[in-house]
A and B are shown apart, each in its own frame.
Chain A
Amino acid sequence: MKHVTEYRDADLVHVVLDGIRQTVTKPWVLMEICGGQTHAIVRHGIDQLLPTEIELVHGPGCPVCVTPLELIDKSLAIASCTEVIFTSYGDMLRVPGSGCDLFSVRASGGDVRVVYSPLDAVKIAQHNPDREVVFFAIGFETTAPPNAMSVVQAQSMGLKNYSILVSHVRVPPAMHVILGSPHNRVQGFLAAGHVCAVMGYWEYPPIAEKYGVPIVVTGFEPLDIVQGILQATRQLEEGRCEAENAYPRVVTFEGNRPAQKLIERVFEPCDRKWRGIGTIPDSGWRLRQEFAEFDAELRFDVEAIQPDESPLCIAGQILQGLKKPHDCSAFGVKCTPENPLGATMVSSEGACAAYYRYGRHVAGQKKEE
């Protein structure tokens, strides 16, 4: 496939890996923010191909992982209502709430449907005027424009039976939390390429400057990832801390203006709780007052539940790059993808799930070249 295959070329990846080896002289800790990148790094063994000086730690960029347990419990309560058709991206279905997950709600008779796009949920609402259709609107900046469009579309069609359960989160506030922590280890960031496709990277130069860290916009194929690592390493070795773009075929500095405009029209910033981390000020989006009729939390009277997380789980430290999955005593023993104890095991893009899937059960050895 064009724009994919070329970026999986092992020879070209090795050219860039050579460049990293020739550049690095000191140890550096880099964080990839996006869970999709974590998955790709572990899947392709990129971390094992890097010189020992470069350590990759894994960031909080998995929206399924950081969706708070209370909201998953709300989704289960709403999905259990007989008049509701509950629609969601597939990733959310097996994420356990305090009791069960959306799959078990479906098994016990709930009408839970996986959709590919939020516009599919709007179509379902159009075809089922006597049912309430709810869409579980989770995600980072990448998913916000589609979710916003579904609300605008439902409004223009005059649909009264469509609402969304919103749990949107934003990347830059989480970067502030990580870099502002007294325990921070991160010296450079690989910024999430598709978040930047929407938002651009104009928010990043002030962060790079304030904390003295390079931030390199990075794509998702192996060649993209090593290129991001090379540019971040080069900046660190040269003592620079700038926002750079290693994914220019997809990302521009300004980002996608029409998408940003629609986000702004439909959503407004709010404090948001991140599973495993806690509440981060201004780190989320909620529906603006003008779109309150599409807010599932207002439409359905579901009580706030205060669930408990497992005391064994160290997901919060993993999401901030302070620990690795195999530092946890429960990893792979009490905590598995079938029976996840916390945020980073619940989605295949969580760092723990990626380590489990690709057999990284002990602290890794670098491969000999």
Chain B
Amino acid sequence: MCLGVPGKIVETYQAGGLKMGKVDFGGVVRETCLEYVPQAEVGDYVLIHVGFAISLVSEEEAQATLEILREIMRLEEELGPEPDTR
């Protein structure tokens, strides 16, 4: 029920007094209400739940999390995994 899907805003416009937009989910484009992410612009990724963007996805935070893990993975490849000494 509370699942959300991240998609990329490809168009924004006003309709019925609401900020609306077209959002691309890997090729499928759906109309979305952008009223709750007033700062969102074309090109931004937003998290969509039942036809509403409820959050602007932070590119910086996404990259930071992944970078740390990729760094650990690179280190493990170079050094071998830490021995389980329990």
Interface residues of A (CB under 8 A from B): 1-4, 6, 11-12, 15-16, 18-19, 21-22, 25, 34-36, 61-64, 89, 91, 116-120, 138-140, 142-143, 145-146, 149, 153, 156-157, 192, 194-195, 197-198, 220, 223, 227, 248-251, 256, 258-259, 262, 347, 349
Provide the bound-state CA to CA distance between A4 and B62, in Å: 11
Q: Contact partner of B2 among A16, A143, A251, CB < 8 A?
A: A143
Q: Contact partner of A250 among B50, B55, B81, CB < 8 A?
A: B55
Q: Are B33 and A146 in contact (CB under 8 A)?
A: yes
**In angstroms, how far is the closest chain A Cβ from the Cβ of B43?**
12
- CB-CB contacts below 8 Å: B8-55 with A: 8, 16-18, 25-26, 33, 35-38, 45, 47, 49-52, 54-55
Q: Are B6 and A3 in contact (CB under 8 A)?
A: yes
Q: Are A3 and B62 in contact (CB under 8 A)?
A: yes
Q: A149 with B55: in contact, given A64-B1, A143-B2, A194-B2 (CB under 8 Å)?
A: no
Q: Contacts of A248 on B, CB cut-off 8 Å?
A: 58, 61, 64-65
Q: Are A12 and B70 in contact (CB under 8 A)?
A: yes
Q: Are B4 and A194 in contact (CB under 8 A)?
A: yes
The SS class assigned to the A binding surface is helix
22 A-B interface contacts by CB (under 8 A):
A1-B26, A3-B57, A4-B6, A6-B62, A15-B69, A15-B72, A21-B84, A35-B1, A118-B50, A139-B1, A139-B2, A142-B4, A143-B50, A146-B33, A153-B18, A157-B16, A194-B54, A197-B54, A198-B54, A249-B58, A249-B62, A256-B37
Q: Are A145 and B62 in contact (CB under 8 A)?
A: no
Q: Are B36 and A258 in contact (CB under 8 A)?
A: yes
Q: Which residue of B lies closest to A22 (CB)?
A: B82
Q: Are B66 and A6 in contact (CB under 8 A)?
A: yes
**In angstroms, how far is the closest chain B Cβ from the Cβ of A339?**
22
Q: Contacts of A25 on B, CB cut-off 8 Å?
A: 86
Q: Are A259 and B54 in contact (CB under 8 A)?
A: yes
**In angstroms, how far is the closest chain B Cβ from the Cβ of A343?**
13
**In angstroms, how far is the closest chain B Cβ from the Cβ of A58?**
14
Provide the bound-state CA to CA distance between A158 and B64, in Å: 47
User: B79 at the A/B interface (Cβ < 8 Å)?
Assistant: no
Most A CB within 10 A of own CB, among B6, B52, B70: B52
Provide the bound-state CA to CA distance between A268 and B38, in Å: 24
Provide the bound-state CA to CA distance between A143 and B4, in Å: 11
Q: Contact partner of A349 among B1, B4, B6, B49, CB < 8 A?
A: B1
Q: Are A258 and B35 in contact (CB under 8 A)?
A: yes
Q: Are A2 and B1 in contact (CB under 8 A)?
A: no
Provide the bound-state CA to CA distance between A64 and B17, in Å: 31
**In angstroms, how far is the closest chain A Cβ from the Cβ of B69?**
5
**In angstroms, how far is the closest chain B Cβ from the Cβ of A23?**
11
Provide the bound-state CA to CA distance between A315 and B72, in Å: 41
Sample of 14 more A-B contacts, CB < 8 Å, known A15-B69, A143-B50, A251-B55: A12-B66, A16-B69, A18-B81, A22-B84, A36-B3, A62-B1, A63-B1, A142-B49, A153-B16, A153-B17, A250-B6, A250-B55, A256-B37, A258-B38
Q: Which residue of A lies closest to B51 (CB)?
A: A117
Q: Are B6 and A1 in contact (CB under 8 A)?
A: yes
Q: Are B86 and A142 in contact (CB under 8 A)?
A: no
Q: Are A117 and B50 in contact (CB under 8 A)?
A: yes
Provide the bound-state CA to CA distance between A153 and B19, in Å: 12
Q: Are B52 and A146 in contact (CB under 8 A)?
A: yes
Q: Are B50 and A89 in contact (CB under 8 A)?
A: yes
Provide the bound-state CA to CA distance between A320 and B19, in Å: 40
Nearest 7 A-B pairs (CB), nearest first? A117-B51, A1-B26, A3-B6, A249-B62, A248-B61, A197-B55, A249-B61
Q: Which residue of B lies closest to A250 (CB)?
A: B55
Q: Contacts of B81 on A, CB cut-off 8 Å?
A: 18
Q: Which residue of A lies closest to B18 (CB)?
A: A153
Q: Contacts of A259 on B, CB cut-off 8 Å?
A: 36, 54
Q: Are B47 and A2 in contact (CB under 8 A)?
A: no
Q: A2 with B45: in contact, given A61-B2, A248-B65, A249-B61 (CB under 8 Å)?
A: yes
Provide the bound-state CA to CA distance between A151 and B16, in Å: 14
Provide the bound-state CA to CA distance between A116 and B18, in Å: 18
Provide the bound-state CA to CA distance between A120 and B55, in Å: 21
